[in-house]
Structure 1
Amino acid sequence: MMGAHHAISGAAAWVAITSTAPYTLGLDPLPASSVVVGSLVTAGAALLPDVDHHNGTIAHSGGLVTRAAAAVTQTASGGHRHGMHSILAVVGFTLGAVALGRWEAQVPVFGTIPAGSALLLLALVAFATKALRISRGGIVKLWTGAAVVVAGVLWFAPDQLAWLPLSVMVGVIVHLLGDMLTKGGVPLLWPWIPKPSKAWSATPFLSRLWMKNGYMAVPVLGRTGSKREWVLCVGLTAYTGYALLATTGLLVVGPVA
């Protein structure tokens, strides 16, 4: 799945889970401000597994620093769609967000802030705004805009950052699900990548679900960037827009019968 499509999928999943507007799930209800900010943050989190891609959104977001991080991660994880696209990665990214949330620092004007969460928030907002083309300028403009968002959250609602690990977990899971919908699939159980039997591989339908290389998929979207993927993205974009408008009260929708 393409980077922008991963991002919009993450945003759609967030509003579905945290909003109580009609036609959302409301599994973990949050204030409207958290739903709105979280949709952008989760869009960024949905890009995290592609930190293993030298030509991905993250690699192009911060110049030499992010390109180097992508190169190191790609090598350490075995390449694109290897270690960073597994259940282990979901656990690692989520625990990393939890650990960062414990780091606090004293800064001018703001006083004591959750510094680790703030830095993570900064990165995720920058990744999301680049993938969704909200920011079309250079690196300085991209990160300055992200810093303004982070400063606003820290000033007006610093307690909102308690949901950041959930946002990361949702984003990474949605990324894996998105890639599983394409023909490439993902190695969910990495570093253990069990291979199917010859009989399984010889069965046309089953061989698409559990491939010879051990990757797993439900390839209803076909190849990455297919027309079906674009149609899905358009639908998710419309749903996200509706849910945000309904959550903030800008769109009044009657109760679901």
Structure 2
Amino acid sequence: MMGFSHATTGVLVGVAVVAPVAAAAGAPATPAGLLAWALLGAGAALVPDLDHPSSTATRSQGFVTGLLSRGIRALSVAVYEFTRTPADDSGGEHRHLGHTPAFAAVVGAAVGLLCHLSWWASAVTAWFLAFIGLRALRRITRGWLRATLGSWAGAALGAFGVAALFLNAWEVRPAGWTVGLLVALGMVVHSLGDALTSSGVPLAWPFRVRGRRWAMLGAPRRLRFRTGTWPEWVVGALSLTGAAAAGYGLVA
């Protein structure tokens, strides 16, 4: 699983893309705000893997995310069966609907609308994303902090702190639609990351590619890598470096 590297690309999106957009919309970046965007972005980039029963996102909150995973997998299979062509021959669960830019746009729009309508929706979304993000990023921590974030209670308390930070770190709170944008872009960057691996993802769905609506697309074969190998760590390192540089540029 690429949980950690996906989380780092989400950090980059949160700091380098969504934070400047939110600033342009009236919520200027602060160091505390950038930290919140980074951790929420890490969680957003793990959302697509709720379609896998043993992913970091699915295992993060036990029964709750397990139930959510089963629902997403059932929806993915149903959509696959309804839209497949005779040339499609995959199962329809992991790396299917949840890994399409079209689905990311729908989820992002729904989250953005809910966060626009309700402060509580923003709070719950921030807590949920921060929880998943902290669980994934604990790999760059050590000692007691790593052990704490590895437990449900520790990650939950940390996520409460991040959610409170996100909701109170600004003179003008970011608009709800910026949270939806973060979710959508986090999901998209996750799929682009998977497109660098051997299996590919259905980036073109619902459009047909060579007769297949669920064609697994990706980078040229010579540029792809297997999960868990050194190129994945390079992606993570470059993402965190880019996020740090972007954050410094925003607050300097």
Instruction: State the TM-score, normalized to the length of structure 1.
Output: 0.76
Report the alpha carbon displacement of residue 44 of structure 1 after superposing the two structures with TM: 0.9
Superposed counterparts of 1:6-155, under 5 Å: 6-18=6-18, 29=24, 31-33=28-30, 34-78=33-77, 79-104=93-118, 114-133=119-138, 136-155=149-168
SS at match of 1:77: helix
How far, CA to CA, are the matches of 1:222 and 1:212 in structure 2? Answer: 24
Higher relative contact order (CA 8 A, sep 6+): 2
RMSD: 2.7
| Distance change in 2, residues 1:36/1:156 (3 Å) | closer
* 2:196 maps to 1:181: yes
Change in 2 beyond 3 A, CA 1:47/1:2: same
CA gap 1:40/1:161 in 2 versus in 1, 3 angstroms: farther
Q: Cα deviations across residues 190-239 of structure 1 (Å, max 9, x unaligned)? A: 356x3537xxxxxxxxxxxxx99721111523222222221222122222
Deviation at 1:58, TM superposition (A): 1.3
User: What's the CA shift for 1:172?
Assistant: 1.2
CA distance in 2, matches of 1:156, 1:174: 26
Question: How many Å separate the matches in 2 of 1:187 and 1:225?
Answer: 22
2:217 aligns to what?
216
Count of aligned residue pairs for this structure pair: 221
AA of the residue aligned to 2:47: L
Find the counterpart in structure 2 of residue 225 from structure 1. 228
Whole-angstrom distance in 1 between the partners of 2:44 and 2:194: 15
* CA separation of 1:149 and 1:233: change in aligned 2, threshold 3 A: closer
One-letter code aligned to 2:217: M
CA deviations 1:52-78 (Å, max 9, x no partner) are 011111111111111121122123212
% identity of equivalent residues:
30
Report the residue type matching 1:154 in the other structure.
Answer: L
Q: Structure 1 residue aligned with 2:238, among 232, 235, 239?
A: 235
Greater per-residue helix proportion: 2
Q: Distance in 2 between matches of 1:154 and 1:28?
A: 15
Unaligned runs of 5+ in 1: 21-25, 105-113, 198-210, 250-257
Question: Is residue 49–residue 89 contact of structure 1 (8 Å, CA) maintained in 2?
Answer: no
Q: Which entry has the higher C-alpha Rg, 1 or 2?
A: 1
Query: 2:181, 2:9 → 1: CA distance?
Result: 15
Distance of 1:151 and 1:214 partners within structure 2: 42
Give TM-score, length-normalised by structure 2. 0.77
Give me the whole-angstrom Cα distance separating, in 2, the residues matched to 1:235 and 1:102. Answer: 33
What does residue 180 of structure 2 align with? 165
Can you give the 5+ residue segments of structure 2 that lack an aligned partner in the other structure? 78-92, 142-147
Output the amino acid matched with 1:147. F
Q: Which amino acid aligns with 2:134?
A: T
